A and B are shown apart, each in its own frame.
Chain A
Amino acid sequence: NAGVTQTPKFRVLKTGQSMTLLCAQDMNHEYMYWYRQDPGMGLRLIHYSVGEGTTAKGEVPDGYNVSRLKKQNFLLGLESAAPSQTSVYFCASTLEGYGANVLTFGAGSRLTVL
């Protein structure tokens, strides 16, 4: 049981390049989230999904897009990377119903934009 898996773990981009972060969970969770973690700012919600085929904006959505074509996968895309997007990105998921709001996190993806 892998839980929440994020790929890649590390990536260096040049300004203007695009990339996609993949989050996969094998727990049949309905809800999935993308957060970014920055020093002194904690975790901020970028986008989230309450089920397959649905996505919604979080606190800091600008510059990112997401897709949830399959229940187990939640993709985070950067169309044109900027240095301000240098961060550690965390994916998380949770059940619907009892136990909801208790998040299971991935190991994180460290992105550097030069």
Chain B
Amino acid sequence: AQRVTQPEKLLSVFKGAPVELKCNYSYSGSPELFWYVQYSRQRLQLLLRHISRESIKGFTADLNKGETSFHLKKPFAQEEDSAMYYCALSSSGSARQLTFGSGTQLTVLP
């Protein structure tokens, strides 16, 4: 069975400080991983996906198959980054289910 673990429920950093949101997964196949974000009073939306290897809003995430991790990083946090972040893993095959982690609430302090 696939599983996504986000060990931090709450994370606070000061503006301008680096931030790392941790995500570990377990999956027997070839994983496809995502970060979704939910800003206050907004819908849950895709932030980035590992196959795109892109940087969105200054965030990056690298898939580390050896450590089964997909940590989200940003070198200089901004107050507008405050949100709930979910790591998600996609199953292979026709079902295309996404399994979400429990989420990390990031607060960027002024």
Binding site for B on A (CB under 8 A): 31, 33, 35, 40-45, 48, 50, 56, 58-59, 90, 92, 94, 96, 100-103, 105-108
Contact = CB atoms under 8 A, between A and B. Distances in A.
B32 A105 contact: no
17 contacts: A33-B98, A35-B100, A40-B102, A41-B102, A42-B6, A42-B86, A42-B100, A43-B103, A48-B97, A50-B96, A58-B97, A59-B99, A96-B96, A105-B43, A105-B44, A105-B45, A106-B43
Contact of A103 (B46, B101, B103): B46
A45 B88 CA distance: 12
Contacts of A48: 95, 97
A48 B6 CA distance: 24
Q: How large is the interface on B (under 10, 10 to 19, 20 to 34, 35 or more residues)?
A: 20 to 34
A18 B34 CA distance: 35
Contact of A42 (B45, B95, B103): B103
Interface in B43-102: 43-46, 49, 86, 90, 94-102
A45 B97 contact: yes
Given A41-B102, A101-B34, A102-B46, A94 B97 contact: no
Contacts of A50: 94-96
A43 B95 contact: no
B90 A101 contact: yes
